[in-house]
Structure 1
């Protein structure tokens, strides 16, 4: 446990980045799990003496979607608690890091905010590789941006062939539409999310509505997945080869046989 205590002292996180309970989905009919708590194996691993072997977890998350849908504003609202009305196009990729403490274990979420403009796609797509989480962003006030969600996911899957991607579909700029319009948008977005095997969230970077809850949910689910993968690897890992007592017995036997041969030669 000493190693874990050292890790905690080295990495200080803000109190709103400390996760003890299991964060729930925004809507029941647009979630990617049916759980209401962390997997018991994850809780046990983080609470036991073996927690020191869990170590520092790092997850790569890519944020993708059409130009001007609010990807950078979403990241800035969560990381910097700021909202900038002036649109500045992302050139290539921007990068942010947020540190959490989940079940008393350090966890780092790397956020790769990628450009939505087509001319930057050859640059941005190179940063898709190695992602564990994909956040597809669209503008709830511009439904055409929802129509391209499938192609964005396919681009991410192409760079991560064979990997299971934790996927979220996020509608931004919720503050720009009326409640009645948003209900219609949400209905369509949930249908798209189910087709993508994604979890849907509606947020407002301007007001901060659901932003913290979204990223906390992403962090918790990706942390749980990382711990379960490590436990599975440990379970099926091949034990290291060691020199057993039988090897020594074999050695002893051959030594004894050699001694007997020498003795026989001497008697002759």
Structure 2
């Protein structure tokens, strides 16, 4: 078995993370899926397959200067740099979590917002389990552009097979009244996208950890449910399979659980 270093305490998710805005929630539930909970407890008790790290891919898309890199850096490095350089092509971070006692990793792909890099970045949209579309709450035009960014990201993936999030950054730059007005507009567009809306500040850190915990929890649970489906049609036990290796038929089954998109 390969040695797996322990997950840091601030990456242990013991309770199912809630969406801060119930009006824009992908799943209105209070706890993990019962099948997923049972499978995790059973596998944790056996300590079987713990050397196989499970991983999902999240791509972050949006206009130039909306704060995609700052959002990722605030969560992954707990840092905020106002004078960062624009992303060239793509970059990524891997964050390790522990959920329901099991190890889990999230690949977070930071893509360039400049037009000249779109052809490069779009190749990295493929195979995403999560699409995060980002806009600047202080620049309402960037909210309108999120529709096109989502269309381009979905073009590289199986239809209806991704969790979709709409994230407004820089909420610290708005007054309370401006924030409420922008959030109302964002909730409407999130509904059209079948996305979950979050409002965050990378500068202050407001809602950033809660958001990424929510992303990790939903994608982890979906991965476990995938593995349950695979094991139900074979003799494979939970933990023996490769979560991310599924054929076209499995992708279609999985897509049926996801909301459709515009």
With structure 1 as the length reference, what TM-score do the two structures score?
A: 0.84
**Rg: which structure is higher?**
1
Residue in 1 that maps onto 2:231: 234
Asked if the contact 1:45–1:51 (Cα under 8 Å) also holds between the matched residues in 2, the reply is no
CA distance in 1 between counterparts of 2:213 and 2:39 reads: 20
Unaligned runs of 5+ in 1: 1-5, 240-268
Q: Does 1:20 align with 2:6?
A: no
Instruction: Indicate yes or no: 2:112 matched with 1:115.
Output: yes
**What stretches of structure 2 of length at least 5 have no aligned partner?**
237-262
Residue 133 of structure 1 and its aligned partner are, at CA, apart by 0.3
Q: Which residue of the partner structure matches residue 39 of structure 2?
A: 45
Call closer, same or farther: CA 1:113–1:141 in 2, change over 3 Å: same
Counterpart of 1:204 (choices 179, 193, 201) is 201
CA distance in 2, matches of 1:51, 1:160: 34
CA RMSD, Structure 1 to Structure 2 (Å):
1.6
- Partner SS, residue 10 of structure 1: coil
Tell me the residue number matched to 1:99.
96
User: Shift of the alpha carbon at 1:11?
Assistant: 2.9
Q: CA deviation at 1:51?
A: 6.2
Alignment coverage as a number of residue pairs: 233
- Which 10-residue stretch deviates more, 155-164 or 168-177? 155-164
Q: CA deviation at 1:208?
A: 0.3
Q: Contact 1:43 / 1:103 at 8 angstroms: preserved in 2?
A: yes
TM-score, structure 2 as length reference:
0.85
Structure 1 CA distance for aligned equivalents of residues 136 and 18 of structure 2: 23
1:158 is the counterpart of 2:155: yes
Q: CA deviation at 1:236?
A: 2.2
SS of corresponding position for 2:96 = strand
Deviation at 1:221, TM superposition (A): 0.4
Partner of 1:127: 124
Q: CA deviation at 1:53?
A: 4.6
User: Could you tell me how far 1:238 is from its partner in structure 2?
Assistant: 7.7
Stretches of 4+ aligned residues off by more than 6 angstroms: none
